[in-house]
A = this chain, B = another copy of it.
Amino acid sequence: MPNGYNAPMEMLARKLDSIARIADADREALLALPHTVRNLPARHDIVRFGDRPNQSCLVLQGWVYRYSALAEGGRQILSFYIAGDLPDLQSLHLHRMDHNLATLTSCVVALVAHDDLRAVLLKNPGLAATLWRDSLIDAAHYRERITSLGRRQALGRVAHMFCELYLRQKAVGLTRGLSCPLAPKQSELADSLGLTSVHLNRVLRTLRGRGLVTLGGGILTIENWHALAEVAEFDPTFLHLANNAAPAHPTVETV
């Protein structure tokens, strides 16, 4: 469940735990990182194309998404981020934004100055390696999205996205049984999957009709993991979770 957070940096530590083993010294350095906590309203740009941020943002609560805007008002959503994610860690080394970052829901974020972050990473190479790893996992997510967009049909694409969002939330403790929050609206899912919202809606009907998922009230429930993963040709390797958190059949589990 969308439980709160204690110390802000703890949320990050928890996320990093899901992708690597963190040394104690690194954890302490992380927890001591200076930061500012901010509440942001939903559907609000955090950084925009062309910006040169001097801080990185960490999601503590809510959903954030990354998108690129096209001519004709079109938009491609590149990725979704949830609590614990560091959506613009990249601005530490890529100084000019080549896309936009925005809140999907209302959010609580922590802002960390690049200078502070650089100083801490210089003293803690292990932590630097972990964050580098995190950004490489981000890239792995992109690769999988490319595969989806390029070679999967709409049904598989949607199924794949659901598998991914479920497991990522599970890895940081945001699921309950086979249910998890699903903040994006249909039009936003469509913009992230290269579909129109009309067609996405039809695909959702099919998934429901086949008894694979249930949707409603911002909650996704996976009714049949095995069948869903099969439709999606889902293989969790690309998530690079430390404990290989992809259950063969996450059927009945009490969280």
Contacts and interface: CB of A to CB of B under 8 A. Distances in A.
A233 B71 contact: yes
A136 to B, nearest CB: 5
A94 B149 contact: no
A156 B129 CA distance: 37
A159 B104 CA distance: 32
Interface in A127-156: 128-129, 132-133, 135-140, 142-147, 149-152
Contacts of A137: 94
Nearest to A138: B139
Given A146-B149, A147-B68, A94 B193 contact: no
A105 interface: no
A78 interface: yes
A122 interface: yes
A238 B150 contact: no
A173 interface: no
A211 interface: no
A90 B125 CA distance: 17
Contacts of A209: none
A74 interface: yes
Contact of A76 (B78, B139, B151): B151
Contacts of A76: 146-147, 150-151
A248 interface: no
A98 interface: yes
A93 B139 contact: no
B237 A150 contact: no
Nearest to A240: B94
10 smallest beta-carbon distances between A and B, as pairs: A150-B194, A142-B142, A149-B149, A93-B133, A139-B139, A98-B238, A76-B147, A76-B150, A76-B151, A98-B237
Given A125-B125, A150-B194, 10 more contacts: A50-B237, A68-B147, A74-B151, A75-B151, A78-B146, A93-B132, A142-B145, A142-B146, A149-B150, A151-B194
20 contacts: A68-B147, A70-B152, A76-B146, A76-B151, A78-B147, A90-B139, A93-B129, A93-B132, A98-B143, A98-B240, A99-B143, A99-B238, A132-B132, A135-B135, A142-B145, A142-B146, A145-B146, A146-B146, A150-B193, A151-B194
